[in-house]
Structure 1
Amino acid sequence: MAAIKKSSLVDQVYETLRGEIITLQRPLGSRLNVNELQGELQVSCTPIREAVNRLQQEGLVRYQANVGASVLSLDAHDVEEIEYLAVTLHCAAARLALTRCDTDFLAGQLEKHLEDYRKAKSVNAQVMAVNHFIGVFYHNCGNRRLDDSMISIQGQQLLLRYLYATQGADRDRDEADYAAILAAVRQGDADSVCRILTENAARSSAAILSHLDA
Protein backbone atom coordinates (compact mmCIF):
# COMPACT_ATOMS: atom_id res chain seq x y z
CA MET A 1 0.00 0.00 0.00
CA ALA A 2 1.43 3.35 -1.06
CA ALA A 3 2.35 6.01 1.49
CA ILE A 4 0.11 9.08 1.54
CA LYS A 5 1.35 12.57 0.77
CA LYS A 6 0.58 15.22 3.35
CA SER A 7 -2.33 17.23 1.91
CA SER A 8 -5.99 16.94 2.95
CA LEU A 9 -4.76 14.14 5.14
CA VAL A 10 -8.05 13.02 6.67
CA ASP A 11 -9.73 12.92 3.24
CA GLN A 12 -6.86 10.93 1.76
CA VAL A 13 -6.81 8.42 4.60
CA TYR A 14 -10.60 8.12 4.39
CA GLU A 15 -10.60 7.56 0.62
CA THR A 16 -7.75 5.06 0.83
CA LEU A 17 -9.37 2.97 3.57
CA ARG A 18 -12.82 3.25 2.02
CA GLY A 19 -11.52 2.06 -1.34
CA GLU A 20 -9.70 -0.86 0.24
CA ILE A 21 -12.78 -1.91 2.21
CA ILE A 22 -15.20 -1.64 -0.71
CA THR A 23 -12.90 -3.55 -3.06
CA LEU A 24 -12.36 -6.25 -0.41
CA GLN A 25 -8.63 -5.58 -0.06
CA ARG A 26 -9.39 -5.36 3.65
CA PRO A 27 -11.43 -8.48 4.47
CA LEU A 28 -14.85 -8.36 6.09
CA GLY A 29 -14.51 -8.32 9.86
CA SER A 30 -10.77 -7.52 9.84
CA ARG A 31 -9.38 -5.28 12.59
CA LEU A 32 -8.33 -1.70 11.90
CA ASN A 33 -5.44 -1.19 14.27
CA VAL A 34 -4.43 2.48 14.46
CA ASN A 35 -0.77 1.72 15.19
CA GLU A 36 -0.55 -0.64 12.22
CA LEU A 37 -2.30 1.88 9.96
CA GLN A 38 0.19 4.56 11.02
CA GLY A 39 2.99 2.36 9.72
CA GLU A 40 1.18 1.48 6.49
CA LEU A 41 0.06 4.99 5.58
CA GLN A 42 2.91 6.90 7.23
CA VAL A 43 0.64 9.42 8.94
CA SER A 44 -0.12 10.26 12.56
CA CYS A 45 -2.95 8.68 14.52
CA THR A 46 -5.22 11.77 14.45
CA PRO A 47 -6.21 11.68 10.72
CA ILE A 48 -6.55 7.90 10.96
CA ARG A 49 -8.97 8.14 13.88
CA GLU A 50 -10.98 10.85 12.11
CA ALA A 51 -11.14 8.80 8.90
CA VAL A 52 -12.20 5.69 10.81
CA ASN A 53 -14.96 7.71 12.51
CA ARG A 54 -16.24 8.79 9.10
CA LEU A 55 -16.21 5.20 7.89
CA GLN A 56 -18.11 4.20 11.01
CA GLN A 57 -20.79 6.80 10.25
CA GLU A 58 -21.03 5.38 6.72
CA GLY A 59 -21.52 1.88 8.08
CA LEU A 60 -18.34 0.41 6.61
CA VAL A 61 -16.59 0.19 9.98
CA ARG A 62 -17.93 -0.98 13.32
CA TYR A 63 -16.58 -0.15 16.75
CA GLN A 64 -16.85 -2.32 19.84
CA ALA A 65 -15.78 -1.34 23.33
CA ASN A 66 -12.64 -3.17 24.45
CA VAL A 67 -12.18 -4.51 20.92
CA GLY A 68 -11.78 -1.43 18.73
CA ALA A 69 -12.61 -0.73 15.09
CA SER A 70 -13.04 -3.36 12.42
CA VAL A 71 -14.36 -3.62 8.89
CA LEU A 72 -18.05 -4.51 8.98
CA SER A 73 -18.97 -8.16 8.80
CA LEU A 74 -22.06 -9.24 6.90
CA ASP A 75 -24.73 -11.81 7.61
CA ALA A 76 -27.96 -12.57 5.76
CA HIS A 77 -29.89 -9.95 7.69
CA ASP A 78 -27.34 -7.24 6.84
CA VAL A 79 -27.41 -8.08 3.13
CA GLU A 80 -31.20 -8.11 3.04
CA GLU A 81 -31.45 -4.77 4.87
CA ILE A 82 -28.92 -3.01 2.65
CA GLU A 83 -30.44 -4.34 -0.57
CA TYR A 84 -34.01 -3.60 0.53
CA LEU A 85 -33.19 0.00 1.40
CA ALA A 86 -31.12 0.48 -1.76
CA VAL A 87 -33.83 -0.87 -4.08
CA THR A 88 -36.49 1.23 -2.33
CA LEU A 89 -34.39 4.34 -2.96
CA HIS A 90 -33.55 3.27 -6.54
CA CYS A 91 -37.24 2.88 -7.36
CA ALA A 92 -38.15 6.23 -5.81
CA ALA A 93 -35.38 7.93 -7.81
CA ALA A 94 -36.42 6.18 -11.03
CA ARG A 95 -40.06 7.18 -10.63
CA LEU A 96 -39.15 10.80 -9.96
CA ALA A 97 -36.66 10.95 -12.82
CA LEU A 98 -39.21 9.54 -15.26
CA THR A 99 -41.71 12.14 -14.08
CA ARG A 100 -39.31 15.07 -14.38
CA CYS A 101 -37.14 14.24 -17.39
CA ASP A 102 -37.45 13.53 -21.06
CA THR A 103 -37.32 9.75 -21.53
CA ASP A 104 -34.97 10.05 -24.52
CA PHE A 105 -32.51 12.02 -22.40
CA LEU A 106 -32.60 9.45 -19.59
CA ALA A 107 -32.29 6.60 -22.07
CA GLY A 108 -29.25 8.22 -23.67
CA GLN A 109 -27.51 8.48 -20.29
CA LEU A 110 -28.37 4.90 -19.36
CA GLU A 111 -27.27 3.57 -22.74
CA LYS A 112 -23.81 5.09 -22.29
CA HIS A 113 -23.27 3.33 -18.96
CA LEU A 114 -24.76 0.08 -20.26
CA GLU A 115 -22.16 0.16 -23.02
CA ASP A 116 -19.47 0.76 -20.39
CA TYR A 117 -20.74 -2.32 -18.55
CA ARG A 118 -20.61 -4.41 -21.71
CA LYS A 119 -17.02 -3.33 -22.35
CA ALA A 120 -15.84 -3.71 -18.73
CA LYS A 121 -12.71 -5.84 -18.49
CA SER A 122 -12.22 -5.63 -14.73
CA VAL A 123 -14.37 -6.00 -11.64
CA ASN A 124 -13.80 -2.34 -10.81
CA ALA A 125 -14.95 -1.18 -14.26
CA GLN A 126 -17.96 -3.49 -14.06
CA VAL A 127 -19.03 -2.26 -10.60
CA MET A 128 -18.55 1.40 -11.46
CA ALA A 129 -20.54 1.05 -14.69
CA VAL A 130 -23.48 -0.35 -12.69
CA ASN A 131 -23.09 2.41 -10.09
CA HIS A 132 -23.18 5.08 -12.79
CA PHE A 133 -26.09 3.38 -14.57
CA ILE A 134 -28.25 3.49 -11.42
CA GLY A 135 -26.87 6.93 -10.60
CA VAL A 136 -28.59 8.36 -13.69
CA PHE A 137 -31.91 8.16 -11.84
CA TYR A 138 -30.53 9.96 -8.78
CA HIS A 139 -28.83 12.70 -10.80
CA ASN A 140 -32.13 13.46 -12.50
CA CYS A 141 -34.67 12.89 -9.74
CA GLY A 142 -34.60 16.47 -8.47
CA ASN A 143 -34.73 15.40 -4.82
CA ARG A 144 -31.57 16.25 -2.91
CA ARG A 145 -32.66 14.43 0.24
CA LEU A 146 -33.25 11.24 -1.71
CA ASP A 147 -29.81 11.59 -3.28
CA ASP A 148 -28.26 12.18 0.16
CA SER A 149 -30.00 9.09 1.54
CA MET A 150 -28.42 6.94 -1.15
CA ILE A 151 -25.00 8.48 -0.55
CA SER A 152 -25.24 7.48 3.11
CA ILE A 153 -25.41 3.77 2.22
CA GLN A 154 -23.57 3.87 -1.09
CA GLY A 155 -20.36 2.47 0.39
CA GLN A 156 -22.20 -0.56 1.74
CA GLN A 157 -23.94 -1.19 -1.55
CA LEU A 158 -20.71 -0.81 -3.51
CA LEU A 159 -19.22 -3.42 -1.18
CA LEU A 160 -22.10 -5.77 -1.97
CA ARG A 161 -21.61 -5.15 -5.68
CA TYR A 162 -17.95 -6.09 -5.41
CA LEU A 163 -18.87 -9.23 -3.50
CA TYR A 164 -21.41 -10.12 -6.17
CA ALA A 165 -19.06 -9.34 -9.05
CA THR A 166 -16.32 -11.53 -7.59
CA GLN A 167 -18.52 -14.32 -6.22
CA GLY A 168 -21.05 -15.52 -8.74
CA ALA A 169 -22.24 -12.64 -10.88
CA ASP A 170 -24.24 -13.69 -13.94
CA ARG A 171 -23.12 -10.96 -16.32
CA ASP A 172 -25.33 -12.11 -19.18
CA ARG A 173 -28.48 -11.96 -17.05
CA ASP A 174 -27.41 -8.68 -15.49
CA GLU A 175 -26.77 -7.15 -18.89
CA ALA A 176 -30.21 -8.34 -20.00
CA ASP A 177 -31.73 -6.71 -16.91
CA TYR A 178 -30.02 -3.38 -17.58
CA ALA A 179 -31.08 -3.52 -21.23
CA ALA A 180 -34.66 -4.22 -20.10
CA ILE A 181 -34.51 -1.23 -17.73
CA LEU A 182 -33.32 0.91 -20.63
CA ALA A 183 -36.22 -0.32 -22.78
CA ALA A 184 -38.69 0.36 -19.96
CA VAL A 185 -37.35 3.90 -19.56
CA ARG A 186 -37.86 4.52 -23.28
CA GLN A 187 -41.48 3.46 -22.75
CA GLY A 188 -41.82 5.61 -19.63
CA ASP A 189 -42.72 2.46 -17.69
CA ALA A 190 -41.62 3.08 -14.11
CA ASP A 191 -43.38 -0.04 -12.81
CA SER A 192 -41.29 -2.28 -15.06
CA VAL A 193 -38.09 -0.45 -14.07
CA CYS A 194 -38.83 -1.08 -10.40
CA ARG A 195 -39.79 -4.71 -10.97
CA ILE A 196 -36.53 -5.43 -12.80
CA LEU A 197 -34.45 -3.60 -10.18
CA THR A 198 -36.12 -5.66 -7.46
CA GLU A 199 -35.62 -8.97 -9.27
CA ASN A 200 -31.99 -8.15 -10.03
CA ALA A 201 -31.32 -7.27 -6.37
CA ALA A 202 -32.89 -10.53 -5.23
CA ARG A 203 -30.66 -12.55 -7.55
CA SER A 204 -27.48 -10.73 -6.54
CA SER A 205 -28.38 -11.07 -2.86
CA ALA A 206 -28.81 -14.82 -3.28
CA ALA A 207 -25.35 -15.08 -4.86
CA ILE A 208 -23.78 -12.99 -2.07
CA LEU A 209 -25.47 -15.05 0.66
CA SER A 210 -24.33 -18.27 -1.00
CA HIS A 211 -20.75 -16.96 -0.80
CA LEU A 212 -21.11 -15.86 2.84
CA ASP A 213 -22.49 -19.26 3.82
CA ALA A 214 -19.68 -21.14 2.06
Structure 2
Amino acid sequence: MHNIDEIKKESTLVEQAFSRLRHGVLTGEFPAGAKLKIDELQKTYGFSSSPLREALSRLAQEGLIRADERRGFRVAPISLEDLADITHMRLMIEVPALRESVVRGDDAWEAAVVACYHRLERIEARLSDGPVALDDEWAGLHRAFHLSLLAACPSERQRVWSASLFDQAERYRRYSARFREAKRRKSNEHRKIMDIALRRDVETVCALLEEHILSTQRNVQAAFKRIQGA
Protein backbone atom coordinates (compact mmCIF):
# COMPACT_ATOMS: atom_id res chain seq x y z
CA MET A 1 0.00 0.00 0.00
CA HIS A 2 1.32 3.42 -0.92
CA ASN A 3 1.73 5.86 1.92
CA ILE A 4 0.45 9.44 1.67
CA ASP A 5 3.83 10.88 0.65
CA GLU A 6 4.16 8.38 -2.20
CA ILE A 7 0.65 9.17 -3.43
CA LYS A 8 1.38 12.91 -3.36
CA LYS A 9 4.64 12.39 -5.22
CA GLU A 10 2.93 10.30 -7.89
CA SER A 11 0.20 12.90 -8.28
CA THR A 12 2.80 15.66 -8.67
CA LEU A 13 4.63 13.66 -11.35
CA VAL A 14 1.37 13.10 -13.24
CA GLU A 15 0.64 16.84 -13.16
CA GLN A 16 4.15 17.63 -14.40
CA ALA A 17 3.92 15.07 -17.19
CA PHE A 18 0.46 16.28 -18.14
CA SER A 19 1.64 19.90 -18.30
CA ARG A 20 4.69 19.08 -20.43
CA LEU A 21 2.79 16.86 -22.85
CA ARG A 22 -0.14 19.25 -23.12
CA HIS A 23 2.23 22.09 -23.94
CA GLY A 24 3.90 19.93 -26.58
CA VAL A 25 0.58 19.13 -28.24
CA LEU A 26 -0.74 22.70 -28.16
CA THR A 27 2.44 24.25 -29.51
CA GLY A 28 2.91 21.73 -32.30
CA GLU A 29 6.03 20.18 -30.80
CA PHE A 30 4.12 16.95 -31.35
CA PRO A 31 2.58 17.34 -34.83
CA ALA A 32 -1.00 16.35 -35.56
CA GLY A 33 -1.24 12.57 -35.99
CA ALA A 34 2.17 11.92 -34.41
CA LYS A 35 2.60 8.68 -32.46
CA LEU A 36 3.33 9.26 -28.78
CA LYS A 37 5.52 6.37 -27.70
CA ILE A 38 5.98 5.82 -23.97
CA ASP A 39 9.64 4.76 -24.25
CA GLU A 40 10.56 7.83 -26.31
CA LEU A 41 8.69 10.14 -23.93
CA GLN A 42 10.53 8.58 -21.00
CA LYS A 43 13.86 9.40 -22.61
CA THR A 44 12.80 12.94 -23.53
CA TYR A 45 11.18 13.97 -20.25
CA GLY A 46 12.63 11.59 -17.69
CA PHE A 47 9.28 10.42 -16.30
CA SER A 48 8.49 6.79 -15.63
CA SER A 49 5.79 5.03 -17.64
CA SER A 50 3.08 5.29 -14.95
CA PRO A 51 2.70 9.11 -14.79
CA LEU A 52 3.11 9.32 -18.57
CA ARG A 53 0.27 6.87 -19.18
CA GLU A 54 -1.96 8.72 -16.73
CA ALA A 55 -1.12 12.06 -18.36
CA LEU A 56 -1.80 10.67 -21.83
CA SER A 57 -5.14 9.27 -20.67
CA ARG A 58 -6.13 12.71 -19.37
CA LEU A 59 -5.14 14.34 -22.64
CA ALA A 60 -7.24 11.76 -24.49
CA GLN A 61 -10.22 12.64 -22.29
CA GLU A 62 -9.72 16.29 -23.27
CA GLY A 63 -9.70 15.42 -26.96
CA LEU A 64 -6.14 16.59 -27.59
CA ILE A 65 -4.85 13.09 -28.34
CA ARG A 66 -6.46 9.83 -29.43
CA ALA A 67 -6.04 6.31 -28.12
CA ASP A 68 -5.73 3.89 -31.05
CA GLU A 69 -6.80 0.26 -31.27
CA ARG A 70 -3.35 -0.99 -30.33
CA ARG A 71 -3.46 0.86 -27.00
CA GLY A 72 -1.11 3.52 -28.21
CA PHE A 73 -1.63 7.25 -28.37
CA ARG A 74 -1.53 9.70 -31.25
CA VAL A 75 -1.94 13.46 -31.37
CA ALA A 76 -5.45 14.29 -32.57
CA PRO A 77 -5.50 15.17 -36.28
CA ILE A 78 -6.14 18.69 -37.51
CA SER A 79 -8.89 19.19 -40.06
CA LEU A 80 -11.49 21.76 -41.01
CA GLU A 81 -14.19 19.22 -40.15
CA ASP A 82 -12.81 18.80 -36.63
CA LEU A 83 -12.53 22.56 -36.17
CA ALA A 84 -16.13 22.98 -37.33
CA ASP A 85 -17.23 20.46 -34.71
CA ILE A 86 -15.20 22.21 -31.97
CA THR A 87 -16.64 25.58 -33.03
CA HIS A 88 -20.18 24.19 -33.05
CA MET A 89 -19.78 22.81 -29.54
CA ARG A 90 -18.22 26.04 -28.25
CA LEU A 91 -21.20 27.98 -29.54
CA MET A 92 -23.54 25.51 -27.86
CA ILE A 93 -21.76 25.42 -24.48
CA GLU A 94 -19.51 28.45 -24.03
CA VAL A 95 -21.91 31.16 -25.20
CA PRO A 96 -24.77 30.01 -22.91
CA ALA A 97 -22.22 29.71 -20.07
CA LEU A 98 -21.28 33.34 -20.63
CA ARG A 99 -24.94 34.33 -20.56
CA GLU A 100 -25.42 32.68 -17.17
CA SER A 101 -22.18 34.11 -15.84
CA VAL A 102 -23.00 37.69 -16.82
CA VAL A 103 -26.45 37.41 -15.24
CA ARG A 104 -25.17 35.91 -12.00
CA GLY A 105 -21.71 37.46 -11.61
CA ASP A 106 -21.07 39.46 -8.43
CA ASP A 107 -18.53 42.14 -7.54
CA ALA A 108 -15.78 39.54 -7.03
CA TRP A 109 -16.47 38.15 -10.50
CA GLU A 110 -16.23 41.64 -12.01
CA ALA A 111 -12.92 42.28 -10.24
CA ALA A 112 -11.48 38.98 -11.46
CA VAL A 113 -12.49 39.69 -15.07
CA VAL A 114 -10.91 43.15 -14.94
CA ALA A 115 -7.72 41.78 -13.40
CA CYS A 116 -7.39 39.06 -16.04
CA TYR A 117 -7.93 41.55 -18.84
CA HIS A 118 -5.39 43.93 -17.33
CA ARG A 119 -2.70 41.23 -17.31
CA LEU A 120 -3.55 40.29 -20.90
CA GLU A 121 -3.39 43.91 -22.02
CA ARG A 122 -0.07 44.48 -20.28
CA ILE A 123 1.66 41.57 -21.95
CA GLU A 124 0.33 42.59 -25.36
CA ALA A 125 1.87 46.01 -24.84
CA ARG A 126 5.26 44.37 -24.17
CA LEU A 127 5.24 41.92 -27.06
CA SER A 128 6.79 42.83 -30.38
CA ASP A 129 4.77 42.78 -33.58
CA GLY A 130 3.84 39.29 -34.62
CA PRO A 131 1.35 36.51 -33.88
CA VAL A 132 0.71 36.80 -30.14
CA ALA A 133 -0.95 33.36 -30.12
CA LEU A 134 2.52 31.81 -30.42
CA ASP A 135 3.69 33.37 -27.15
CA ASP A 136 3.19 30.92 -24.26
CA GLU A 137 2.66 33.58 -21.60
CA TRP A 138 0.11 35.42 -23.74
CA ALA A 139 -1.68 32.14 -24.47
CA GLY A 140 -1.98 31.39 -20.75
CA LEU A 141 -3.34 34.84 -19.95
CA HIS A 142 -5.70 34.69 -22.92
CA ARG A 143 -7.13 31.43 -21.57
CA ALA A 144 -7.42 32.87 -18.06
CA PHE A 145 -9.33 35.89 -19.35
CA HIS A 146 -11.85 33.83 -21.30
CA LEU A 147 -12.42 31.44 -18.42
CA SER A 148 -12.82 34.34 -15.97
CA LEU A 149 -15.78 35.52 -18.03
CA LEU A 150 -17.47 32.15 -17.49
CA ALA A 151 -16.52 31.75 -13.83
CA ALA A 152 -19.94 32.78 -12.45
CA CYS A 153 -21.81 30.19 -14.53
CA PRO A 154 -23.40 27.85 -11.95
CA SER A 155 -22.86 24.70 -14.04
CA GLU A 156 -19.48 23.14 -13.31
CA ARG A 157 -19.87 20.89 -16.35
CA GLN A 158 -20.36 23.88 -18.62
CA ARG A 159 -17.26 25.54 -17.21
CA VAL A 160 -15.16 22.36 -17.51
CA TRP A 161 -16.35 21.54 -21.02
CA SER A 162 -15.86 25.15 -22.10
CA ALA A 163 -12.26 25.01 -20.87
CA SER A 164 -11.66 21.71 -22.68
CA LEU A 165 -13.09 23.00 -25.95
CA PHE A 166 -11.06 26.20 -25.57
CA ASP A 167 -7.91 24.07 -25.31
CA GLN A 168 -8.86 22.03 -28.36
CA ALA A 169 -9.34 25.27 -30.30
CA GLU A 170 -5.96 26.51 -29.01
CA ARG A 171 -4.12 24.12 -31.34
CA TYR A 172 -5.95 25.69 -34.25
CA ARG A 173 -5.28 29.24 -33.06
CA ARG A 174 -1.57 28.50 -32.95
CA TYR A 175 -1.69 26.65 -36.25
CA SER A 176 -3.37 29.53 -38.06
CA ALA A 177 -1.03 32.07 -36.42
CA ARG A 178 1.96 30.41 -38.11
CA PHE A 179 0.47 31.04 -41.55
CA ARG A 180 -1.66 34.13 -41.01
CA GLU A 181 -0.92 37.03 -43.35
CA ALA A 182 -2.37 39.75 -41.15
CA LYS A 183 -0.70 39.63 -37.74
CA ARG A 184 -3.53 41.35 -35.93
CA ARG A 185 -4.04 41.52 -32.19
CA LYS A 186 -7.36 40.91 -30.50
CA SER A 187 -7.02 43.31 -27.59
CA ASN A 188 -9.83 45.54 -28.89
CA GLU A 189 -12.15 42.57 -29.17
CA HIS A 190 -11.29 41.46 -25.65
CA ARG A 191 -11.81 44.98 -24.31
CA LYS A 192 -15.24 45.20 -25.93
CA ILE A 193 -16.26 41.82 -24.58
CA MET A 194 -15.15 42.81 -21.08
CA ASP A 195 -16.81 46.23 -21.12
CA ILE A 196 -20.13 44.93 -22.38
CA ALA A 197 -20.07 41.98 -19.97
CA LEU A 198 -19.56 44.39 -17.07
CA ARG A 199 -22.45 46.51 -18.35
CA ARG A 200 -24.53 43.31 -18.16
CA ASP A 201 -25.63 43.68 -21.77
CA VAL A 202 -26.25 39.97 -22.16
CA GLU A 203 -27.41 39.81 -25.76
CA THR A 204 -24.60 41.98 -27.11
CA VAL A 205 -21.79 40.25 -25.21
CA CYS A 206 -23.03 36.82 -26.30
CA ALA A 207 -23.12 38.00 -29.92
CA LEU A 208 -19.56 39.33 -29.56
CA LEU A 209 -18.28 36.06 -28.10
CA GLU A 210 -19.98 34.12 -30.89
CA GLU A 211 -18.22 36.28 -33.49
CA HIS A 212 -14.94 35.94 -31.57
CA ILE A 213 -15.21 32.14 -31.72
CA LEU A 214 -16.18 32.14 -35.39
CA SER A 215 -13.21 34.36 -36.24
CA THR A 216 -10.88 31.56 -35.11
CA GLN A 217 -12.58 29.21 -37.52
CA ARG A 218 -12.25 31.71 -40.39
CA ASN A 219 -8.56 32.32 -39.65
CA VAL A 220 -7.80 28.60 -39.75
CA GLN A 221 -9.82 28.12 -42.93
CA ALA A 222 -7.77 30.89 -44.56
CA ALA A 223 -4.53 29.27 -43.35
CA PHE A 224 -5.57 25.92 -44.81
CA LYS A 225 -6.26 27.56 -48.19
CA ARG A 226 -2.84 29.24 -48.21
CA ILE A 227 -1.09 25.96 -47.35
CA GLN A 228 -2.98 24.03 -50.01
CA GLY A 229 -2.20 26.72 -52.56
CA ALA A 230 1.51 26.82 -51.71
Q: State whether TM-score is above 0.5.
A: yes
Cα shift at 1:32: 0.6
Equivalent residue for 1:124?
136
* Structure 2 contact 86–168 (Cα < 8 Å) conserved: yes
- Does 1:151 find its partner at 2:163? yes
- Does 1:167 find its partner at 2:172? no
> Which of 6, 19, 43 is the aligned partner of 1:39?
43
Cα shift at 1:114: 4.7
Give, as a single letter, the amino acid of the residue that structure 1 aligns with 2:110.
Answer: F
Give, as a single letter, the amino acid of the residue that structure 2 aligns with 1:71.
Answer: V
Cα shift at 1:197: 1.5
Moved more, 13-22 or 48-57: 48-57
Equivalent residue for 1:200?
212
Q: How many residues align?
A: 209
* Structure 2 contact 28–171 (Cα < 8 Å) conserved: yes
Moved more, 39-48 or 130-139: 39-48
> Which of 65, 68, 90 is the aligned partner of 1:64?
68
Q: What is the alpha-carbon root mean square deviation over aligned residues? A: 2.7
Q: Which runs of 5+ in 1 are unaligned?
A: 1-5
Cα shift at 1:19: 1.2
Cα shift at 1:81: 1.2
* Structure 1 contact 20–26 (Cα < 8 Å) conserved: yes
> Which of 160, 184, 191 is the aligned partner of 1:179?
191
Deviation sequence 1:30-71 (CA, Å, 0-9, x none)? 111122112112233232222222211111111222483211
* Structure 1 contact 114–178 (Cα < 8 Å) conserved: no
Cα shift at 1:102: 4.6
Equivalent residue for 1:24?
28
- Provide TM-score, normalisation by structure 2: 0.77
1:70 is paired with a residue whose SS is: strand
Change (3 A) 1:24 1:148: same
Q: Which runs of 5+ in 2 are unaligned?
A: 1-8
2:77 is paired with a residue whose SS is: coil
Q: Which runs of 4+ in 1 moved over 6 A?
A: none
- Does 1:11 find its partner at 2:26? no
Equivalent residue for 1:105?
110
Matched residues, percent identical? 23
- Provide TM-score, normalisation by structure 1: 0.82
